[in-house]
Amino acid sequence: MHATHDPAAPPASDIAFDDFLAVDVRVGTIVAAEPFPEARKPAYKLTIDFGATIGTKRSSAQITEHHACDDLIGQQVAAVVNFPPRQIGKFMSQVLTLGFPDADGKVVLVQPGRPVPNGGRLF
């Protein structure tokens, strides 16, 4: 199954609730952000604190259109924390930071509407 960034794409087929539970989406706070000039598409290297149980993880995120690198520190984001790590150039991305496409397909981060404890799981 391949995710699409097309907002006009039809909904994915039905899944069982247990399939949803298999995807571990957690909230964390960005503690470091730096440009990732080696990436094929414009991206940042993020370090995200998911609290004591999960710890700090790194992620490559293509969020440069709507998010300035310096403004990301301290922001909370949602990420899938149970995918296998993915090698992106010389960088190992350990979690998938989540976002939605805007009208032009540029990524807008998924963020809680108010502060929540790091490591909280989406339900």
* pLDDT tens track for 22-69: 999 999 999 999 999 988 899 999 999 999 999 999 999 999 999 999
* pLDDT tens track for 72-89: 999 999 999 999 999 998
Q: Please state the three-class secondary structure of the chain as a single string.
A: CCCCCCCCCCCCCCCCHHHHHHCCEEEEEEEEEEECCCCCCCCEEEEEECHHHHCEEEEEECCCCCCCHHHCCCCEEEEECCCCCEEECCEEECCEECEEECCCCCEEECCCCCCCCCCCECC
Note whether residue 8 is domain-resident.
no
Domain range enclosing 47? 22-109
Note whether residue 3 is domain-resident.
no
Predicted confidence at residue 2, as pLDDT, reads: 39
Note whether residue 122 is domain-resident.
no
Confidence of residue 3 (pLDDT cuts 50, 70, 90): low
- Based on the structure, what is the number of domains in the chain? 1
* pLDDT tens track for 94-112: 999 999 999 999 999 999 9
Note whether residue 101 is domain-resident.
yes
The domain spanning residue 56 has which CATH number?
Answer: 2.40.50.140
**Nearest in space to 47 (alpha carbons), one of 93, 84, 83:** 93
Cα Rg of the chain, angstroms: 14
Note whether residue 11 is domain-resident.
no
Note whether residue 96 is domain-resident.
yes
Q: 3: which residues sit within 8 A by CB, 6+ positions away?
A: none
Predicted confidence at residue 1, as pLDDT, reads: 34
